[in-house]
Amino acid sequence: MIAALKDFADRFLGRGDATITVPSFDGALKPNQLLETAETVGQFDAPEDLATDGKALYIADGAAILRLDADTATEVRRFDRVITALCCLPDGGMAVALDGREVQLLATPSASSVAATFSDSSISAINALAPGPRGTVIATDGSTQRLYRQWVYDLMERGRTGRVLSLDIASGSVRTLASGLQYAFGACTAGDALLVSESWRHRVIAIAADGSRRTILDNLPVYPSRMSPASSGGFWLTAFAARTQLVEFVLRENAYRRRMMSEIDPAYWIAPKLKSGQSFLEPMQGAHIKTMGVVKPWAPPRSYGLVIRLDATGVPLFALHSRVDGVNHGIVAAVEMDGALFALAKGPGRLLRAPLAMIDQELRA
Amino acid sequence: MSDIILALRNATKLYAGVAAIESVDFELRRGEIHALVGENGAGKSTLTKVMAGVVTLTSGTMQINGVDAAPRTPLEARHLGIAMVFQENSLVPTMTVAQNLFLGQERFYNRLRGIYIAAQQFLQSLNFDVTPTATVGMLGAAKKQMVEIARAVLHQAKVIIFDEPTATLTPEEKKYFFDLVRDLKRRGVSIVFISHALEEALILADRITVLRDGKHVVTDDAVNFDRARIVQAMVGRDLSNTLYGRRKTTVRPAGARVLTVQNLKMAPMVKNNSLSVFAGQITGVFGLVGAGRTETFKVVAGVLKRDFFHGGEVILHDKPVRYRVPAPAVRAGIAYVTEDRKVEGFFETMSVARNIYLGLLAKVPGGRFLLSGREADRVGGSWVDKLKVRTTGNDMKVVELSGGNQQKVVIAKSLVQEPDLIIFDEPTRGVDVGAIVEIHELIQQLADQGKAVVVISSYLPEIMALSDRILVSRQGKVVEEFSALEATEEKIMYAAVH
């Protein structure tokens, strides 16, 4: 009863859980145009994830794995389902998530036979893979209720069924490291712990070997996604969209959200998107987005591009942005190779390359 | 008759030996609109207060219509035809418009009906749409301005001085106000107006005078100015020989985020303000008066309350907080060092040690039943040594200290609470140069120790000398962020006024 009264009061006064606010992009997240000015290495139909073994860059594009050789993408393997996650393993093998429901291990990226398969009826949205400790592969399962491609449904339903799984290569067993997460999307080992992005909670958590959780980075102004290690220590954290007060408002208006989901095409929902500005039917394109027909870079973003560089303790050092007036939005993966950062902008289907020296120079300027 | 209605020659005004204005020459032509611009502390207000008889010159002369005149009171200035419209208007809110208009001209028997009729006729003659029977407190800012102006005209003022007249006006009200000022000019009234909004000066004024550090920099026709030239004149001091001349070559990296302010609202000063403060860094907050800087951080520290409905969020160490009074904020590790130390900073008749000890007591939940004089002396004494407060003893009263040492006591009172987040609001206002250096060193040390430090200052060189990152506030919210390495005075000032 008291909780109900508090909830009513909070909604009336705009306080507590009903506060509709978002943090600003400041400090290390101060906006720039580094992602927008990055070189476009290639354009793909349905790019999803990146992986590197330190020698070559692999791209998951639809149902195929492509290898980037001197700016040319060559197909090395094709599957019967779309790939939703990809990672290179220390032994030269590769782990591939298919349709978010199954993980296959390959001895080499081009191997025709499958070394091991992990599937379970409860797995539905494997969206990131990473090499784990002691011969394991870490997988994040965004939701047990929705498929990977239905991530926006999970957000609108305020899903909290995300899990982190440990796949034991030797035994073929699947162990749940964490559950009840609000869309787990991306993991990376950090010493004995495991860093996991929790997108709908806008945070990165560390899961210790004993299963205890600790928040590393909280209250981000974006929806964080996949992570990868940086060569000089620390991590690259991607974010596929930025938060807005409008979406936060919709997320607390249950009745409105239910009607929107039942009556409106998902393409036009008031929800974060991987790309925007494609149709006049999209919401959020009034004067708060454009002035004299020109998109304001600081406008509330329906889609956004961001890669954050974290230090080893998870403190942001700097960020690369593609702002509202840009196109390189929906960054879902970023890996470092050969002194350059490769980022995958899923919105326009682009693979971007930004040399680390250039990033350093730009940030110093 | 000379074209010059009011002139100041070699005008100097000293406050306790410090020059607020120094050897300033100023001329106001008959029927002109003359804008006075400059940074906070440039001497604009002092200059206009001299004209209006609020303060008198220490040296120099003032002439009205070519005759020496030195009004010692606003009443004398009014008799000389000079009226001043203050930013915080001087109307009595509980009286009607008509009563305010004729305030000071009452007779033994006042016929209210007669006053209302006279006021109605007078306001109509000015084309002011204000009801004479309305209570002033119920009027909007623009209407209050009109009443102030009407009162000035009623007193047959030939010179009207406006101090930040548009600060509280909406865009529509501003346009109306501009029309009023132009109408006054047509009537032959000379106007002096102070404004931080440079575009207003450029649009409205015939001539512009720029003051800097109490000195006259330039006076020229408005058509010869553009924004860049005004900003350059406002900030273009020679930095090489000043306390603040050193440019930063390195900045401290940001640590963990200590404070996040999200969409904070406190009408009318803070409007949807968002910012973050990080550990191990000095975050400088610059803005002109009325930019909402102080109010934002007073809300953070529980000194002021945010809007009741949808007032936004303050997040300290990743937890939302809402302080209605300062005590819980102090216990949570927030220290706010006030800009107005004499009113809010200390108990002036209490000893230095007791004042510092009070800071410690503020952190104890529920206070203490028994107080220890010995502990007060010990705690106070250690901080007096640490901050090099120049006293004759711990029992010396704070009121007997110099401004710089008083400020050190205020700082000690906050630091004794061992805060994680320290907010310095105008930390060196009214402080002598030697103490400024020591206070700056102290602030730097706090950041080096990993504390999150915020410095709010209207003095650009101070912001640039201290800050690792600089937030620029304008019209109630942070509008720009600079790294100290990339910031220039021109860039900051442009962001603050643009």
Considering the domain boundaries, does residue A13 fall inside one?
A: no
Min Cα separation A88/chain B (Å): 32
- Interatomic CA distance for residues A219 and B187, integer angstroms: 59
Kindly report the nearest CA distance between residue B314 and chain A, in angstroms. 10
What pLDDT, on the 0 to 100 scale, is given for residue A295? Answer: 80
Backbone dihedral angles phi then psi of residue A24, each to the nearest 5 degrees: -95, 160
Query: Are residues B227 and B263 both part of a single domain?
Result: no
Residue B369: which pLDDT band, with cuts at 50, 70 and 90? low
B275 with A26: Cβ contact below 8 A: yes
How much is the CA Rg of chain A, to the nearest whole Å? 20
Same domain, B344 and B409: yes
Shared-domain flag, residues A205 and A59: yes
Chain-chain contact of A13 with B309 (C-beta, under 8 angstroms): yes
> Which of B194, B180, B177 minimizes the C-alpha distance to B141?
B177
Please judge whether B254 and A316 are an interchain contact, meaning their C-beta atoms are less than 8 angstroms apart.
yes
Does B14 share its domain with B146?
yes
pLDDT level of residue B237 (50, 70, 90 thresholds): low
Domain membership of residue A232 as a residue range? 25-44+225-365
Domain extent, residue B100, equals 4-235
Ramachandran region of residue A36, left (φ > 0), alpha (ψ -120 to 50) or beta?
Answer: alpha
Assigned token pair, A89: 């393993």
Got the DSSP string for A243-254?
--HHHHHHHH-H
What ipTM was estimated for this complex? 0.84
Q: Has residue B83 been placed in a domain? A: yes
pLDDT tens for B439-480 read 888 999 999 999 999 999 888 888 988 999 999 998 889 999
pLDDT at B239: 41
Is the confidence at residue B379, as pLDDT, over 70? Answer: yes
A19 in a structural domain:
no
Residue B250 lies in a domain: no
Cβ proximity of B159 and B50 under 8 Å? no
- Shared-domain flag, residues A86 and A174: yes
- For residue A3, being part of any structural domain is answered with no
Question: What are the CB-based long-range contacts (under 8 Å, 24+) for A145-151?
Answer: A147/A99, A147/A100, A147/A101, A148/A84, A148/A99, A148/A100, A148/A124, A149/A100, A150/A125, A151/A125, A151/A127, A151/A183
pLDDT tens string, chain A, 365 residues long: the values are: 788 888 888 888 888 878 889 999 999 999 999 999 999 999 999 999 999 998 899 999 999 999 998 878 999 999 999 999 999 999 999 999 999 999 999 999 988 888 889 988 889 999 999 999 888 999 999 999 999 999 999 999 999 999 999 999 988 899 999 999 999 999 999 988 999 999 999 999 999 988 899 999 999 999 999 999 999 999 999 999 999 999 999 998 999 999 999 999 999 999 999 998 778 888 876 666 777 778 888 888 889 999 999 999 999 999 999 999 899 999 999 999 999 999 999 999 999 999 999 998 888 76
Cβ contacts from A onto B, under 8 A: 63
Mean pLDDT of B266-292: 89
* Interchain contact, A14 vs B310, CB within 8 Å: yes
| Residues B326 and B435 grouped into a single domain | yes
A27 touches B: beta carbon within 8 Å:
yes
In B, which residues are within 8 Å of A218 by CB distance? 318
Q: Could you tell me which chain A residue has the CA closest to the CA of B260?
A: A23
Pair A182, A169 in one domain: yes
Specify the CATH number for the domain of residue A190.
Answer: 2.120.10.30
| A315/B255 Cβ within 8 A | yes
Q: How far is it, in rounded angstroms, from Cα A267 to Cα B57?
A: 70
Q: Is the dihedral of CA B97, B100, B105, B110 positive or negative?
A: positive
| Single residue among A219, A247, A269 that ends a domain in this structure | A219
Token digits of residue B117 = 């009729």
To test the contact with chain B by mutation, choose from A6, A10, A19 the residue with the greatest count of B C-beta atoms within 10 A, namely: A19
Q: Which residues of B89-117 are buried (b: 16+ CB within 10 A; e: fewer)?
A: bebeeeebbbbbbbeeeeeeeeeeeebbe
Query: What CATH code is carried by the domain that includes residue B449?
Result: 3.40.50.300
B61 shares its domain with B180: yes
Q: How many domains does one find in chain B?
A: 2
- Going by pLDDT thresholds of 50, 70 and 90, the confidence category of residue B235 is confident
What is the rounded CA–CA span in Å between residue A29 and residue A222? 10
Determine the Cα–Cα distance for residues B180 and B150; give it in Å rounded to an integer: 10
Same-domain check for residues A277 and A247: yes
* Within a domain: B244: no
Domain boundary among A188, A219, A250: A219
Structure tokens at A199: 């997108």
| Contact call for B276 and A30, based on CB within 8 A | no
- Does a structural domain hold residue A213? yes
Residues B145 and B273 in one domain: no
Q: Are residues A215 and B256, on separate chains, in Cβ contact within 8 Å?
A: no
Determine whether the interchain pair A27/B308 forms a contact, defined as Cβ–Cβ distance below 8 Å: no
- Tens of pLDDT, residues B350-360: 888 888 888 88
Q: Which residues of A touch B262 (CB under 8 A)?
A: 19, 21-24
Measured CA to CA in angstroms, residue B163 lies from A26, B44, B107, B312 at distances of 34, 9, 31, 32
Considering CB atoms only, which of B278, B309, B486 is closest to A14?
B309
The answer on B100 and B159 residing in a single domain is: yes
The alpha carbon of residue A244 is apart from the nearest alpha carbon of chain B, in Å, by 11
Best probe of the A interface among B257, B270, B321, B468, by most A CBs < 10 A, is B257
Structure tokens at A322: 């593609």
- A211 plus A155 within the same structural domain: yes
- Do A360 and A265 lie in one domain? The reply is yes
**For chain A, how are helix, strand and coil distributed in percent, rounded to 5?**
15, 40, 40
What integer pLDDT is reported at residue B238 of this predicted model?
Answer: 46
Task: Give the nearest partner residue to B262 out of A15, A21, A316, using CB atoms.
Answer: A21
Mean pLDDT of B384-390: 82
Residue A218 at interface with chain B, using a CB cutoff of 8 Å? yes
Which parts of B367-433 are beta strand (E)? Answer: 421-425
If residue A241 lies in a helix (H) or strand (E), which one and from where to where?
A: strand A235-242
Closest-CA residue of B relative to A218 is B318
Same structural domain, B171 and B228: yes
Which residues in chain A have Cβ-Cβ distances shorter than 8 Å to B311? Answer: 14-15
- In a shared domain, residues A263 and A125: no
A361 touches chain B (CB under 8 A): no
Longest dimension (CA), chain A: 65
Give the predicted TM-score (pTM) of the model: 0.73
Nearest partner of A180 among A141, A137, A222, A221, judged by Cα: A141
Which of B200, B235, B270 finishes a domain?
A: B235
Considering the domain architecture, whether residues A344 and A326 belong to the same structural domain is answered as yes
On whether the CB atoms of residues A272 and A303 are closer than 8 A, the answer is: yes
Mark whether A338 and A210 lie in a shared domain.
no
- A9 lies in some domain: no
Q: Confirm whether A207 is domain-assigned.
A: yes
Taking CB atoms and an 8 Å limit, are B310 and A26 in contact across chains?
no
A295 is a domain residue: yes
Q: What is the per-residue pLDDT for B381?
A: 86
Residues of A in contact with B313 (CB under 8 A): 19, 21
Under the phi-then-psi rule, with left for phi > 0, alpha for psi from -120 to 50, and beta for the rest, what region is B293?
A: alpha
Q: Pull the structure tokens for residue B333.
A: 């590790």
Query: Assign residue A254 a region: left if phi > 0, alpha if psi is -120 to 50, beta otherwise?
Result: alpha
Residue B59 has pLDDT above 60, yes or no: yes
| Angstroms from B274 CA to nearest CA on chain A | 6
Handedness of CA A32, A37, A39, A40 (dihedral sign): positive
CA distance B145 to B184: 14
Interface check A360 vs B, CB under 8 A: no
Pairing between strand B215-221 and B207-212? antiparallel
Closest chain A residue to the Cα of B275, Cα to Cα:
A24
* CB contacts, 8 Å: B275 with chain A: 24, 26
Q: What is the rounded distance in angstroms from the CA atom of residue A331 to the CA atom of residue B50?
A: 61
Apex CA B222: angle with CA B220 and CA B226, to 5°? Answer: 105
Q: pLDDT averaged over chain B?
A: 84
Contact B470, B481 (CB under 8 A): yes
Chain B touched by A215 (CB under 8 Å): yes
Question: For residue B367, which amino acid is it?
Answer: G
Whether B174 and B272 share a structural domain: no
Q: Which residues of B touch A (CB under 8 A)?
A: 253-257, 260, 262-263, 274-276, 278, 308-313, 315, 318, 320, 322, 469, 471, 478, 481, 485-486
Cβ-nearest to B315 among A12, A219, A317: A219
**Is residue B252, in this structure, part of any structural domain at all?**
no
Bridge partners for A138 per DSSP: A130, A166
Structural domain tally of chain A? 2
In this structure, the number of other CB atoms found within 10 A of the CB of residue B479 comes to: 17
Instruction: Kindly state whether residues A190 and A247 are assigned to the same domain.
Output: no
* Yes or no, beta carbons of B254 and A315 under 8 Å apart: yes
Q: Is residue B251 part of a domain?
A: no
Claim to verify: residue A201 and residue A298 sit in the same structural domain: no
Strand-pair partners of A78: A64
For B85-134, write each residue's pLDDT tens digit: 876 567 888 999 999 888 877 777 777 788 898 899 888 877 778 889 98
Q: List CB contacts (< 8 A) between B308 and chain A.
A: 13
Shared domain for A80 and A37, answered yes or no, is no
Q: Measuring CA to CA, which residue among A125, A151, A152 is closest to residue A140? A: A125
Last residue of a domain, one of B202, B235, B268: B235
Which chain B residues are closer than 8 Å to A20 by Cβ? 263, 310
**Nearest CA distance, A330 vs chain B (angstrom):** 24
Q: Are B318 and A215 in contact (CB under 8 A)?
A: yes
Best CA proximity match to A123, nearest among A187, A170, A171, A175: A175
Q: What per-residue confidence (pLDDT) applies to B168?
A: 60
Q: Is residue B14 part of a domain?
A: yes
Answer yes or no: is B299 within a domain.
yes
In a domain, B240, yes or no: no
Residue scoring higher pLDDT (A136 or B169): A136
* Closest chain B residue to A31, measured at CA: B481
Q: Per the domain annotation, does A319 fall within a domain?
A: yes
> Which residues from chain A sit within 8 angstroms of residue B257, using beta carbons?
27, 219
Q: Give DSSP secondary structure letters for B129-159.
A: ---TTSBGGGS-HHHHHHHHHHHHHHTT-SE
**pLDDT tier at B172 (50, 70, 90 boundaries)?**
low
Give the Cα separation of A297 and B249 in Å (integer): 30
Last residue of a domain, one of A155, A184, A219: A219
Are B289 and B164 contained in the same domain? no
Q: Which of A76, A204, A200, A91 is nearest to A137 (CA)?
A: A91
Residue with tokens 């290690």, as numbered in its chain: A229
Question: What is the per-residue burial (b if ≥16 Cβ within 10 Å, else e) of B243-259?
Answer: ebeeeeeeebebbbbbb
Considering only CB atoms, which chain B residues are within 8 Å of A315? 254-256
